Structure 1
């Protein structure tokens, strides 16, 4: 139940120490400092979810990504507030400085959209272009699962639920035990792969569930709250880099109207929409999305 892309054995694993002393794990594929793409992951995602785009852009571009602090191979600061979106953007700046990369194309998916916007605002000289896929400008819990209209009370109850799970040992234990149910995820992945006509989706779903259930669940849940605490809305007009925004009209997690608002507010943005796309348009329309990105970067 594993798909191994041709480039996987070429990925180099590295570690840097962040500005506030946290070991951050990052991955590099390819060489050079001039033509570089940075992939800002969705919450819980890693390189495998970018497989269609990597196959399109590598080796023409060097690819860099990293594990957000608190997840997977990256460690976490003793002060839990240091999981903010600003911290993740600063971690990326430290990685680029370590690799002597002056600027790069920043491509974000889901959570990575907020990280990309924050990075472009804080370090405009380091962001050459932006590609924002299935994301929002901020307050993710305030709009998630609300594809048509916002439900005023939903945000508060989602926070209450997350706090309850984080602070109740039995709930954390039960979540950790879900790793024993991973074999049940495989048929779901097969069904969705068949529905979308992309056989690789099942591997991505299986890997995502496996990774999330093996990382620190408390940090994972806290990051949802940090996504809700953050907003780039007030400085969208100040981000001047050429930007491509991609969304699916059936996205429930980051509804399409959020992406439309990003396009409306930014001064140099264009968009691509997929009427039947969900939160995973790169996996649902791998060739189309990859081509749009490649054309945009030319």
Structure 2
């Protein structure tokens, strides 16, 4: 997805290998110029940035994308239990220390908001700004789809996944082939008038490449994430973006972030879904660009 792509692995500890890619050779880093770091959502992938990466690369920005531990080409032989926001933030910091940029700006979507906020909490002196898209600092089980239906049903679904693991994994990996499943995902998480079936199919195919256990584990990590206690301590300049038709994460969650992160701006996208950067890439790209320039 990067026009110019340099990929490498970083061992962040003895048993964790992280894949990251940049659009520049590390030895040629321009330390004082902005470096954009993109953090994707829950069992998502960098495909969610397919409209942002070429835009900002064409503007001349230095860019870094990465796979979280236990995701895709990154490894964590100690198990998915080590896939916590603190460990992901530490993995990312280990990479950024090697790159030695002095001007890091992070952009996170959905669960990537948790990753970004955790990094801002742990390493405030290393991040110049953050853009938070469609995130929540409250347990998603309590607020997704503006109800507690996820909290009620997820334990049962998890039991089914454990007791009928082969069948569940087969459905999990092949659901992208089912047009009814794709339509449900399209209507539930995207703006159906703006997002194509091809994108949803790619999204669901990438989900199927991950273990379903990782989804349940990270959902619980989001429930346990205590970042809300430190929002008022975060001084990083922040752009908060949400779609006014987000069915997954109700819009008031963005207003909570705006209320407690003092040095922040709020941008609500008309007719935007949970993934406004896919629905309205031109508007989102322009708004992020203006924020970075300010």
Provide TM-score, normalisation by structure 1.
0.86
Query: Which residue among 173, 180, 194 is the counterpart of 2:167?
Result: 173
1:278 aligns with 2:268: no
Cα distance in 2, alignment partners of residues 247 and 139 from structure 1: 17
Cα distance in 2, alignment partners of residues 76 and 243 from structure 1: 31
Query: Which residue among 181, 190, 196 is the counterpart of 2:193?
Result: 196
Query: Which residue among 233, 247, 250 is the counterpart of 1:252?
Result: 247
Deviations 1:144-203, CA, capped at 9 Å, x for gaps: 121xxx54xx464244135314422x24533334544533349749x87994245xx433
Cα distance in 1, alignment partners of residues 35 and 166 from structure 2: 39
RMSD value, Cα: 2.5
Which blocks of at least 5 consecutive residues in structure 2 are unaligned?
none
Aligned-pair CA distance for 1:229:
1.3
Which blocks of at least 5 consecutive residues in structure 1 are unaligned?
none
Moved more, 42-51 or 122-131: 42-51
SS in 2 for 1:23: strand
Matched with 1:92 is 92
Query: Which residue among 219, 227, 243 is the counterpart of 1:224?
Result: 219
Cα distance in 2, alignment partners of residues 295 and 259 from structure 1: 19
Alignment of 1:140-159 (within 5 A): 140-146=140-146, 151=148, 154=149, 156-159=151-154
SS in 2 for 1:73: coil
Alignment of 1:113-132 (within 5 A): 113-132=113-132
Matched with 1:41 is 40
Aligned-pair CA distance for 1:43:
1.6
**Kindly tell me: are residues 172 and 25 of structure 1, through their superposed partners in 2, closer, same or farther at Cα, counting changes over 3 Å?**
farther
Count residues with an aligned counterpart.
Answer: 283
Matched with 1:11 is 5
**Kindly tell me: are residues 247 and 20 of structure 1, through their superposed partners in 2, closer, same or farther at Cα, counting changes over 3 Å?**
farther
Deviations 1:210-238, CA, capped at 9 Å, x for gaps: 11112222123211111111131111111
Cα distance in 2, alignment partners of residues 203 and 104 from structure 1: 33
Is the 8 Å Cα contact of residues 40 and 111 (structure 2) preserved in structure 1? yes
